[in-house]
A and B are shown apart, each in its own frame.
Chain A
Amino acid sequence: MSVFKRIYKFIASMRFAIALLVVLAVACSVGSLVTQGQSYDWYAQRYSERTAALILALGLDDAFHSAWFIAITGFLCLNLTLCNLTRLPRLIRLAKAEGRPEGALKDPGDVSAANIADPRAVFARLRMPAPIACQTEDGREALFASKHRAGLWGAWVCHLGILLLILGFGLGQMTQEQYAVYGVPGDVKPIGDTGRMLQIDDFTVGLRDDDTVEQYTAKITVYDMNADGAPSQSAEIRVNQPATLFGMKFYQNSTGWAGKVNIAKDGEPLQEAVICAGEYLPVADKPELVVVLNAFYPDYRFVPGEGPSTASGQLNHPAWLYSVYYQGQVLGMNALMADEELTIDEYTVTFTDPQSYTLISVKRDRFTPLALVGGLVTMLGLLLAFYVQPARAWAIRQDDGGWTVHGRCRKGGAIWREDFERAAGTASNEE
């Protein structure tokens, strides 16, 4: 055998498949045990500097997108493809032969029983279809039945499904577009660089009697600014109920607090804006002065040692946690109660009208259906492989008028042999 052919055989072999599966399992567990996506400093503090360097060098901080992980998956795909291709012609031949008596009649089978008077009854007890009458090469009368030939395709179909699944997932990862848009009702914001605008028409947080959240509901309208007249499409989205508009899928992702900031200068109103927690607002006539809304607590409490938190979701004791920056330096950070105001030189800042903002994620992945089909095909393959077990039974008339019945079931093993013996009435422990 040439070296080339030997390499090919190895890559298409099941031995290689098992090795790859084990390596993949180890790779996945390593990826889940090392916290993903952290910085060198984070790892150095958590483990040690040497470990941190090793983690970054091996790409363990982003294991599932690392070159070695993709290489293992790639080899698995190659292996599966070659294995399925090599086996296809053999499988077609086998599936054809499985339904015909010729091969079987020469074969002793996995199990057999002699001196059977009524072979058809044995076939029936084995739940085989009605047998066809045929002849052996030496002219004896014979019966043959086969069932569940589709099961032969189980592993092949399962492997195909896995390939489609990996393909769909991989292509999706490479081509998907993902955006996040957040805001309060009335906001109109661009969706990345898609040329589409997202308008938040309404957002409600449905609470149960016990104060827990039942559902987040956002009403949205999307405008396609690329098209003439900017056509629009609207939908209502909830957690677990996304909507598709202009080919993109919109998900109600999460929520947080927002509020209105009023800034006055020397007692005269200067500016007003709604900002979400985490956002900042530069002062209109002095942009190097910046107000940041860090957080909002509807029912503020301060527990020494734990810091600020909220006692409930009700607006019982609202407080705004803010910080102020001047030329990039922190000037101060504090909590402001509802009726308090913050004074910085000639400016006074107040926060009012707490409301919930919504975070909507927007996604387009054209290959999700492919991955879904892959998953469904995999399930079909497994069902075929495990629960549609191909079986054959045949009977040959002997000189004394009795029959010898034979059976074969590739995956039935000892259990099929027992079933067979029971059906043929030759079971050793027959009661």
Chain B
Amino acid sequence: MLQIENTLFTIVMLLYFAAMLLYFAFIAVKKDGVAKVAIGLQAAGLALHTAALICRGIGAGRLPLTNQYEFATSFAWGLCLVSLIFVLRFKFPVLGAFASPVTFLIIGYAAMQSKEVRSLMPALRSNWLGFHVSTAIIAYGAFGVSFVLGVIFLLRDRMRNSGFLDQHIPNREKLDVIAYRSVSLGLLFLTFTIVTGAIWAERAWGSYWSWDPKETWSLVTWIIYAAYLHLRLRRGWQGRAAAIFAVVGFACVIFTYIGVNTFLPGVHSYA
């Protein structure tokens, strides 16, 4: 099973890479047909990625969500899934073009991690772990999409107007609403993540909140996005300022994910 997973993982990386190149080509040659193929490749990559995760789950005899490699590959999966949904729902292939390099970077990060299957320490043997991490994947994926939307928003202001852009990038107002949708999806799932994590911590360590750095940073992330939502409700703050918040919020997500493990030790340092 783990052999199959390994092979699938390599194919998935190639597919994501190919999808990214095609998305770029779509922007370069401005042909809708190219975007369709890119979306098709992304969907195929996602399907095989799902299969790879299932194989790893079967091979390891547990949910594949417990170490840095497993979380990184799942994070890439979540971002790919959410971005694909947004691309299709809002007929927005340019979003795919901006999201695909981020997905590729994250799966590349996964490829650099140790793929060894280690046995779980007792604290990690809990059903809550499954809920905790799988909701985190969706949340991170959604925040990844809002980051990409924020970047598109900020770049849009700098780009020369052209028929292609007007046709393929929604106007400011619509971009803002789409970004709002992705932030709200992310915040809802981040709330699930924090609550299920707290329930699990209570059972495993006897304390549902202990200001462990990872907990604290997920709270910081949560607060940043809550502030984003309120800013949006204020006249004049929609758009640019909100887009900057979406970018900063994702920087917090990445810090929570990678930075905390590297710089701030705590009970979460294994994942």
Contacts and interface: CB of A to CB of B under 8 A. Distances in A.
Q: Of residues A14, A212, A375, which shows the largest number of chain B Cβ atoms within 10 Å of its Cβ?
A: A375
Contacts of B220: 25, 28-29, 32
A361 B206 CA distance: 7
Contacts of B223: 21-22, 24-25, 28
Interface stretch (A133-141, A185-193, A234-242, A305-313): A234-242
B208 A371 contact: yes
Contacts of A375: 191, 194-195, 198
Contact of B204 (A14, A208, A240, A376): A240
A274 interface: no
A29 B191 CA distance: 18
A25 B227 contact: yes
B174 A386 contact: no
A58 to B, nearest CB: 17
A33 B227 CA distance: 21
A31 B212 CA distance: 10
A345 B195 CA distance: 60
A214 B208 CA distance: 23
Which 8 residue pairs are nearest across A and B when measured between Cβ atoms? A239-B122, A414-B174, A386-B184, A251-B206, A413-B177, A32-B216, A375-B195, A21-B227
Nearest to A212: B119
Interface in B173-202: 173-174, 176-178, 180-181, 184-185, 187-188, 191-192, 194-195, 198-200, 202
A370 B231 CA distance: 29
A372 B208 CA distance: 10
A214 B230 CA distance: 46
A379 interface: yes
Interface of A: 14-15, 17-18, 21-22, 24-25, 28-29, 31-33, 36, 64, 169, 208, 210, 212-216, 238-242, 249, 251, 253, 361, 363, 368, 371-372, 375-376, 378-379, 382-383, 385-387, 411-415, 418
B155 interface: no
Contact of B174 (A24, A240, A251, A415): A415
9 contacts: A25-B227, A29-B220, A36-B211, A240-B203, A371-B208, A379-B192, A413-B173, A414-B177, A415-B178
Contact of B188 (A32, A383, A413): A383
Nearest to B203: A240
Contact of A382 (B118, B170, B191): B191
A385 to B, nearest CB: 8
Nearest to B185: A386
B217 interface: yes
Contact of A21 (B90, B119, B188, B226): B226
B109 interface: no
Given A25-B223, A382-B188, A239 B206 contact: no
Contact of B231 (A18, A412, A418): A18
Contacts of B160: none
